[in-house]
């Protein structure tokens, strides 16, 4: 009976938020065709080292790597209650000549764990260029707005001015750390290799009549055929589950970066200083037609929040692997690893889309700056008056009185900050009337922000982007 998909739960990670590439990476087709490739690699290496395996058997296996009969495998698994043996039987049925050499000397983790490592590697290969595209788009945004003064915020209260580009560099810096962590993990991934049931290689030593050198060569050759440069010298039945911890924690850290950045964007959107892309026909609210909700940033935060919960699963799994292994990791890892990568994929696709269409409203930003700048300029005004011969303490008191009156006007009456006009009307501050405009120039309050942006982009961002030449093209289109 054919299953009605409309009445079957499907993960929204796969159906709504993620790319075809990442979905395929965790698909049954990818998994089971990889198992068959690993059986072929094993048989090929065993033949090269002298076992009685024929070219015809290898050719038969190679001809059936992708035509996996999932229905037959499911029926075998229902009967034998073992997924790997179910697929051994299914592959053997497709390759009758090679049936006797499939899985020769191996344990289930030869295909299971080695495939997981290939999937982790390929998943990182999908994510890293996507992350680099976010870096490039955000770097271009930072460069465009490197000199645009804006209110800085500490404790979400107005603070010393920064620039829009400098703030974007704070987001970039976090993303750079995530890129470095994921790239390092990718470079350090090792293959489990050919290790046998408890990692001792006893079955392979028996196959090769006690020849330790051939067993070592077998391990290296299968590792090479799988595209890895090295494998574990020591392992139990599985590769170390600490690897899962490291990968999932790095992905969760990326989630934290995206959550922080997108929260900032949501706050700035509320102030009408900055907006994520908003399409011409997009609806912000079913009830309020004027709404321009930051749905992309909210989606990033939602997916990131789920992603950040996953390291605890990986940690607990690593902590409870008794002796050489237990099987209580299996169901958990099927969920945790796939959801970590799918969540990260959805976050980066959405983040790239945001970075490609960020909109800045300079006049709104300028208005907010002007509302706060007179108060921030107090010290500059005092110093200018002192240079003209004024007493600092008296000047401070004069400025305090005017500032409090201007503050009451803002807070009590909801009117604009009129401190500057009060200063212009004050005879006491006449010595600096001609200099007030320069003393209140927002650009004079941003320090080296513009220069820091330029230095950061050239010295830290550009070298990383150079690693991804030819992989930075293409825009991110969201399905929903």
Which residues are known catalytic residues? Answer: 155, 285
**Which of these, 156, 149, 166, 146, lies nearest to 373 by C-alpha position?**
149
Give the C-alpha separation, 109 to 324, whole Å. Answer: 12
Helices (runs of H) and strands (runs of E) counted in the chain? 21, 4
C-alpha–C-alpha distance, residues 42 and 219, integer Å:
9
Strands (E), 232-336: 274-275
Convert 321-334 to b/e letters by CB count within 10 Å (16 or more is b): beeebeeebeeebe
274: which strand partners? 360
What's CA 428's distance to the chain center, in Å? Answer: 57
Find the DSSP H helices in 105-161: 108-144
3-state secondary structure of 274: strand
How many residues in the chain? 480
Reduced to 3 states (helix: H, G, I; strand: E, B; else coil), residue 124 is helix
Can you tell me the distance from the alpha carbon of 82 to that of 88, in angstroms, rounded to the nearest whole number? 10
Q: What distance in Å separates the CA atoms of residue 220 and residue 226, rounded to the nearest whole number?
A: 10
Give the closest residue to 104 by CA, choosing from 11, 32, 40, 147. Answer: 40
Helix (H) or strand (E) holding 359: strand 359-360
Residue 241 CA to residue 37 CA, distance in Å, equals 23
Among 299, 297, 409, residue whose Cα is nearest residue 357:
297
CB atoms within 10 A of CB 132: 23
Tokens of 121: 């590697």
Angle between helices 378-387 and 392-413 (to 10 degrees): 150
What is the residue whose two structure tokens read 């299953």? 3
Do 346 and 18 contact (CB within 8 A), yes or no? yes
List CB contacts of 469: < 8 A, sequence separation 6 or more: none
């Amino acid at each position: 009976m054919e299953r009605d998909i409309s009445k079957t739960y499907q993960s929204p990670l796969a159906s709504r938020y993620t790319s075809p590439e990442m979905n395929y990476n965790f698909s049954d087709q990818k998994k089971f065709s990889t198992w068959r490739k690993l059986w072929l690699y094993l048989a090929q290496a065993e033949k090269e080292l002298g076992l009685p395996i024929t070219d015809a058997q290898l050719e038969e296996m190679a001809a059936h790597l992708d035509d996996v009969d999932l229905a037959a495998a499911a029926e075998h698994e229902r009967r034998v209650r073992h997924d790997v043996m179910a697929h051994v039987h299914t592959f053997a049925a497709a390759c009758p000549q090679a049936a006797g050499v499939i899985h020769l000397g191996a344990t289930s983790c030869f295909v299971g764990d080695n495939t997981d490592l290939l999937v982790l590697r390929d998943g990182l290969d999908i994510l890293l260029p996507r992350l680099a595209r976010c870096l490039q788009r955000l770097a271009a945004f930072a460069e465009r707005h490197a000199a645009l003064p804006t209110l800085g915020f500490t404790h979400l209260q107005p603070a010393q001015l920064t620039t829009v580009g400098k703030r974007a560099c704070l987001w970039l810096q976090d993303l750079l750390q995530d890129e470095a962590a994921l790239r390092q993990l990718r470079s350090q991934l090792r293959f489990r290799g050919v290790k046998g049931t408890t990692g001792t290689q006893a079955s392979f030593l028996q196959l090769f009549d006690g020849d330790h050198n051939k067993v070592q060569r077998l391990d290296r050759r299968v590792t090479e055929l799988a595209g890895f440069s090295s494998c574990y010298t020591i392992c139990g039945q599985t590769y170390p589950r600490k690897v899962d911890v490291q990968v999932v924690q790095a992905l969760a850290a990326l989630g934290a970066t995206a959550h922080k950045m997108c929260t900032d964007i949501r706050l700035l959107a509320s102030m009408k200083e900055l907006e994520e892309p908003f399409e011409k026909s997009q609806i912000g609210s079913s009830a309020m037609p004027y709404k321009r909700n930051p749905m992309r940033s909210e989606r990033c935060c939602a997916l990131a929040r789920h992603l950040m919960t996953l390291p605890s699963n990986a940690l607990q799994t690593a902590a409870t692997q008794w002796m050489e292994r237990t099987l209580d990791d299996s169901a958990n890892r099927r969920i945790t690893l796939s959801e970590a990568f799918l969540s990260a994929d959805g976050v980066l696709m959405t983040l790239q889309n945001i970075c490609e269409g960020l909109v800045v409203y300079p006049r709104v930003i300028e208005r907010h700056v002007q509302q706060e700048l007179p108060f921030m300029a107090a010290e500059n005004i005092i110093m200018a008056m002192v240079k003209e011969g004024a007493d600092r303490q008296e000047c401070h008191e004069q400025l305090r009185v005017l500032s409090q009156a201007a503050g009451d006007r803002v807070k009590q009456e909801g009117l604009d900050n009129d401190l500057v006009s009060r200063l212009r009307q004050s005879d006491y501050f006449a010595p600096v009337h001609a200099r007030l405009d320069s003393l209140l120039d927002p650009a004079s309050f941003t320090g080296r922000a513009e220069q820091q942006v330029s230095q950061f982009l050239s010295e830290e961002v550009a070298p990383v982007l150079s690693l991804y030449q030819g992989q930075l093209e293409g825009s991110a289109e969201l399905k929903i």
